Structure 1
Amino acid sequence: MTVKQKNKRNVLGCIREHSPISRAEIAVKARISKPTVSLLVDELLKEKLVFEKGIGESSSQGGRRPIQLYFNEKAFFIVGTDIGGTKVKTIISDLGGNIIASSSFKTGQYLNSGLLRQISKEIDCLIERNGIDPGKVLGMGAGIPGITETEMGIVTEAPSLNWIRYPFIAEAKQIFPFPVYVDNDVNVAALGEQWLGNAKNKRNVLFIAVGTGIGSGIIIHNKLYRGASYAAGELGYMVTDKNDMNGDFTPVFHRYGYLESVAGGKAIGARLTKAVLGHPGHPLYEEAKEAELPGEMAFKLAKSGDKTALAVLDEAVGHLAYGIINAASLLNPEVIILGGGVFKSADMLLPKLKEIVNQYLPSPPELKISQLGENAGALGAVSLFLREHESIFKI
């Protein structure tokens, strides 16, 4: 990259982050001379990457206000796709992370008949339906529920998709007309929260997703930490009770870890079922005899004061809290973002979690719920593209 290209990216980044902003303010913030800033801004205006407003109106002191520059978020678009074991969500976003269009389909329908081809069809439909110029779609980021070798573009293992050593990027190159980047779904969600959510302007972030399983995305000094074999952040394998582990512990699913087997959504449902079966007078006793109760039922019952459900949730929260304490002790993040299906009931979990974490950590981080919610994965995939792809928009 030449000095001019680097300066141009810096000027655009400055406008993007601080708009509305004047040329003089850019020169100060970017530490680039005023004449150079003016030349670069003129180029950006011609390319329609920025626009200006105002005609130098008078200020209260009688001087003329400088013309303000704004970033043109609609100059180009990016696709973000969140591939889950149950559902695939695809969005088209502008450069500011505003969702222009979205669609989703059930994963199982297309697992054997070509998942990426179906995503391509969805994108074509979204482009046509929303009148988007296909030439303005820069590329796509994707989040996958499994260990992903990002440099090679290979999904090492994604059990819910039945993928082992799946050549994701090689396949994508055959299907999509633009560059594609891929990473683990929780890593991607962490990037989304740092870009647009509750981890904005934080350089050291831990994103913990608690659903059926438990995983985390780690950002250290503003960079995603993936680990030696791309498996960093597998928080679900943490052991939070060695006595239980030494007993007759069996994971909730084959190859699942200890923490997700005692505090994940599936585990909460299994433990509720077992507890209800121990109380024949419980209103859900007959239902529990027929089939395992879902994890969501524990939260529903707890809200109505059901003591059995409250005890199950208390135990799960305790395990989660110890997992958070261990991870925070090691990583010392500024903020821990909590997401995933289990944290849809955050109001019931967060106070107790904070109480335990603050009790045991000398320097506790902020604990916040994911701001992006169900869009964290798809918007994070957009953020992944903006971070990985060499362009003037790189963040």
Structure 2
Amino acid sequence: MHMKSFNKKCILQCIQDNSPISRAEIAVKTKISKPTVSLLVDELIGDNWVLEKGIGESSSQGGRRPIQLSFNEKAAYIIGTDIGGTKVKTIICDLAGNITATSSFTTNQYLQSGLLKQISETVDRMIGEHNIDVNKVLGMGAGVPGITDTSNGIVIEAPSLNWVDYPFIKEAKKYFPFPIYVDNDVNVAALGEQWLGNAKNKKNVLYISVGTGIGSGIIINKQLYRGSTCAAGEFGYMVTDKNDMKNEFKPVFTHYGYLESVAGGKSIGDKFTALIRKESSHPLYEQAISTGLTGEIAFKSAKAGDETALSIIEEAIDHLSYGIINAASLLNPEIIILGGGVLKSSDLIFPKLRGIMKPYLPSSIDLKTSYLGENSGVLGAVSLFLRECESIIKY
């Protein structure tokens, strides 16, 4: 029985990767006998995982033209949810990552009454609105902004959600009737980029998210590397200035690391605010005094040629470059992908990053922005489910 199940998965994977494909071609690629392929393909067609589509070319010897098979990406649906400190975004998509439904709500609004309860209500509404057969929903993947014990389904610490040792999966089971998997949001985004984005077909990947905080997802030989306590990839804790550390370093937020405190979006905004408060003639002076300035405003000002903003951002880029050089030297990835809010200004950041990094790297590395952008979290959550769930579908 185990062998049959294994062969069935292999055949379905082969059809996914190579469709349209004939039964004979599957037998050659998988090295599974033709009668077994034929029998299992018929089962997959009966279960609606595979569709027969048209007739292929006959061989050079002539004979009947083979029937072509393709993967039925509409056979089932998966839910992906990206739980952020500001916003919770949820999607329902098919097996190829085509988004059927999407919905968002602000995190704070439901933090007290229960985020999972609200996600459940959102999912129910989307299923109803789009006439999705609930029996076709395989399950859900979730990304959360914190250190996550994936094997036990516990969020060890997510400061922006006030979660400490939060039993995520246990709570989720109260609201959802299907399997659920959870992981750190940046790990999840890395999986999304490897599934459908700029890291597709890459075995060794470093994904770095630069927002309020800085985190990374590490993929080694196609597998997500989580570390001994699920805290691998805490990129924001890198130290990029030993002198600064000697001066009793204080993080910009409690539980934030050194690099986040000198190169994260929040620290850029805070530094810009502090400097503009000393320049009473600056056009942003009143705003700096009253509400403070954000990292986004700093980048906008830098693009407009503001010298103060440029100096702060250049210093932040220096620190980020040192961190990336250290990580790349250690991990030797094929590609480094940068995502997160700060990367909306990639046109300003990337040329400077590349210029600083190039002389120090042991070998050249492809550096790109996230292809999936704002959907990297939700599609990554779907990818997490597809990887972790022991269903017939396996990525």
Question: Is the TM-score greater than 0.5?
Answer: yes
1:64, CA displacement in angstroms? 5.4
| One-letter amino acid matched to 1:336 | I
Distance 1:61 1:284 in 2: 77
3-state SS of 1:54 partner: strand
Corresponding position of 1:271: 271
Conservation of the 8 A alpha-carbon contact between 2:58 and 2:66: no
Cα shift readout 1:360-381 (whole Å, capped 9, x = no counterpart): 1021321110011111111111
* Identity across matched positions, percent: 70
* Structure 2 counterpart of 1:100: 100
Contact 1:237 1:260 in 2 (8 A): yes
User: Structure 1 residues 171 and 60, CA, compared in 2 at 3 Å: closer, same or farther?
Assistant: same
Structure 2 vs 1, CA of residues 356 and 62 (structure 1 numbering), >3 Å: closer, same or farther? same
1:131 corresponds in structure 2 to 131
Does residue 384 of structure 1 match 2:384? yes
Please give the alpha-carbon distance, in whole angstroms, between the structure 2 residues aligned to 1:393 and 1:144. Answer: 24
Tell me the distance in 1 between the aligned counterparts of 2:125 and 2:236: 37
3-state secondary structure, aligned to 2:55: coil
Give the AA of the match of 1:250: K
Q: Secondary structure at the match of 1:113?
A: coil
Q: Deviations over 1:165-204 (max 9, x none)?
A: 1111111112211011111111111111100100001111
Partner of residue 354, structure 2: 354
- Which residue does 1:189 correspond to in 2? 189
TM-superposed CA distance for 1:76, in Å, is 0.5
Report if the CA contact (8 A) 1:56-1:64 is conserved. no
Counterpart of 2:164 in structure 1 is 164
Q: Which residue of 2 aligns with 1:212?
A: 212
SS of residue paired to 2:102: strand
1:322 maps onto 2:326 in alignment: no
Matched, 1:230 2:230: yes
SS at match of 1:253: coil
Deviations 1:197-222 (A, max 9, x none): 00001111111001000001111111
Paired with 1:296 and 1:62, the residues of 2 have a C-alpha distance of 65
Matches within 5 A, 1:1-395: 2-56=2-56, 65-395=65-395
* Of 4-13 and 299-308, the range deviating more from structure 2: 299-308
Q: CA deviation at 1:63?
A: 6.4
Given that residues 93 and 100 in structure 1 are in contact (C-alpha distance below 8 angstroms), is that contact kept between their aligned partners in structure 2?
A: yes
Closer/same/farther in 2, CA of residues 194 and 56 from structure 1, 3 Å limit: closer
Cα contact 1:357–1:364 (8 A) shared by 2: no
One-letter code of the match for 1:73? E
**In 1, Cα distance between the equivalents of 2:57 and 2:198?**
37
Contact 1:204 1:221 in 2 (8 A): yes
1:65 CA displacement: 4.2
Looking at structure 2, the residues matched to 274 and 194 of structure 1 have their Cα atoms a distance apart, in angstroms, of 40
Of 313-322 and 299-308, more deviation after overlay is shown by: 299-308
Deviation at 1:62, TM superposition (A): 6.8
**1:125-156: CA deviations, max 9, x gaps?**
01010000000001111111011111111111
Q: Aligned-pair distance for 1:60?
A: 9.5
Over 3 Å counting, the alpha-carbon distance change for 1:310 and 1:73 in structure 2 is same
CA 1:32–1:388 in structure 2 vs 1: closer, same or farther (change >3 Å)? same
Native 8 Å contact 1:211 1:342 kept in 2: yes
Tell me, in whole angstroms, the C-alpha distance in 2 between the residues paired with 1:317 and 1:364: 19
Partners of 1:64 and 1:297 in 2: CA distance: 66
**Deviation sequence 1:283-333 (CA, Å, 0-9, x none):** 222322223211111111112111111111111111110010011111111
* Deviation by residue 1:39-82 (Cα, 9 ceiling, x = unmatched): 11111111111112113566899765432211000000011100
Letter in 2 for 1:55: I
What TM-score, normalized by structure 2, do the two folds share? 0.97
Counterpart CA distance in 2 for 1:62 and 1:387 is: 41
The one-letter amino acid paired with 2:29 is K
Provide the C-alpha distance between the structure 1 equivalents of 2:170 and 2:248, rounded to a whole number of angstroms: 43
SS at match of 2:319: helix
Structure 1 moving runs of 4+ over 4 Å: 56-65
Instruction: Name whichever of 173-182 and 26-35 sits farther off.
Output: 26-35
CA distance in 2, matches of 1:65, 1:303: 60
CA contact under 8 A between 1:81 and 1:142: conserved in structure 2?
yes
TM-score by length of 1: 0.97
Query: Structure 1 regions of 5+ residues with no counterpart?
Result: none
Give 1:275 deviation, angstroms.
Answer: 2.6
Mapped partners of 2:26, 2:178: distance in 1? 32
Partner SS state of residue 69, structure 2: strand
RMSD: 1.6
After TM superposition, the structure 1 stretch with the greater mean CA deviation from structure 2, 13-22 or 204-213, is 13-22
Q: Name the stretch that deviates more: 56-65 or 1-10.
A: 56-65
Deviates more, 1:270-279 or 1:198-207: 270-279
Question: 1:255: Cα distance to partner?
Answer: 1.8
Cα distance 1:61–1:343, how it changes in 2: closer, same or farther (>3 A)?
Answer: farther
